[in-house]
Homo-oligomer: A and B are copies of this chain.
């Protein structure tokens, strides 16, 4: 396994494989790797000659004021702290080594966003709803960094998790719209035995909070059960989910939405190709989860 920290080094290195027509599988991550990432890496390993994992905590997707954060100024309320995000880099590297990753790419912020950086990729409409509402600029940051990473790595296949459903939908749309020559593969959400969707942010949770956090997956299970019992009204399903979650005093609902999976517009009547997605603040930690109907 080769660890590369510089843009200038990775580009010619990977180009060699492209010329030899070797397929490249790419798993872009923000590190703090868990079993969700594992499923992406294993799928990449299975389907490609070369596997590249990037670990980069992307400041631009932490909101428009991320520069404040990196400059150690007061944190604007409502924005997650870019500095606080976990970075267990040694653990992540041994994780990758164990899984037979060929290249780990660890770019530096200054090389990814040099002075004078001015270019952003925007996926309109899809970026303003669900998580985009409470995290302005977030998906612009995601779309921009993913475009950059796909251009740097030039993968045949790139792997994302269904846990970040909106992100996956936006990236698929973007790759199609910009004709980026990569296939986007979305792997199912991996859950703990208790049902909690795996997330790097789960490490923020206390033991008590982790128990409260189970309301996310439980409310989705409730939704699925209601729909199985022929409930078609989105309003009704959302109300039941809301009531379940509100029983936990420490849980603060950001949103619960049932939307069309390609437009992300709310639906009134639940049918095929619906995404049920929610975001809930548990203590100081914002968690998301979703299912597709």
Known: A18-B18, A118-B173, A173-B118. A151 touches B123 (CB 8 A): no
Chain A residues 166-200 with CB under 8 Å of chain B are 173-174, 177-181
Q: In chain B, what residue has the closest Cβ to A107?
A: B179
Known: A151-B179, A178-B147, A179-B148. A125 touches B118 (CB 8 A): yes
Q: Give the docked Cα–Cα distance between A147 and B120 (Å).
A: 12
Known: A21-B19, A122-B120. A151 touches B178 (CB 8 A): yes
Interface string of A235-253 (1 = CB under 8 A from B): 0000000000000000000
A274 within 8 A of B: no
Q: Give the docked Cα–Cα distance between A122 and B118 (Å).
A: 8
* Contact across chains for B118 and A123 when beta carbons are under 8 A apart: yes
- Chain B residue numbers with a CB within 8 Å of A21 are 19
Contact size class for A? 20 to 34
Interface string of A118-142 (1 = CB under 8 A from B): 1111111110000000000000000
* Contact across chains for A151 and B181 when beta carbons are under 8 A apart: yes
Question: How many whole Å from A122's CB to the nearest CB in chain B?
Answer: 5
A261 within 8 A of B: no
A270 within 8 A of B: no
Q: Give the docked Cα–Cα distance between A185 and B7 (Å).
A: 21
Question: How many whole Å from A235's CB to the nearest CB in chain B?
Answer: 26
A226 within 8 A of B: no
- Chain B residue numbers with a CB within 8 Å of A178 are 119, 121, 144, 147-148, 151
A262 within 8 A of B: yes
26 residue pairs of the A-B complex, CB under 8 angstroms, read: A7-B179, A18-B18, A18-B19, A19-B19, A116-B173, A116-B262, A116-B263, A117-B177, A118-B125, A118-B173, A119-B122, A119-B143, A119-B173, A119-B174, A120-B121, A121-B122, A122-B122, A147-B178, A148-B177, A148-B178, A148-B179, A151-B179, A151-B180, A151-B181, A152-B179, A154-B181
If A119-B122, A119-B178, A121-B121 are given as contacts, then 13 extra A-B residue pairs at C-beta distance below 8 Å, sorted by A number, are: A7-B179, A117-B177, A118-B126, A118-B173, A119-B173, A119-B174, A119-B177, A120-B124, A121-B178, A144-B178, A148-B177, A151-B180, A151-B181
Interface residues of A, Cβ cutoff 8 Å to B: 7, 11, 18-19, 21, 116-126, 143-144, 147-148, 151-152, 154, 173-174, 177-181, 262-263
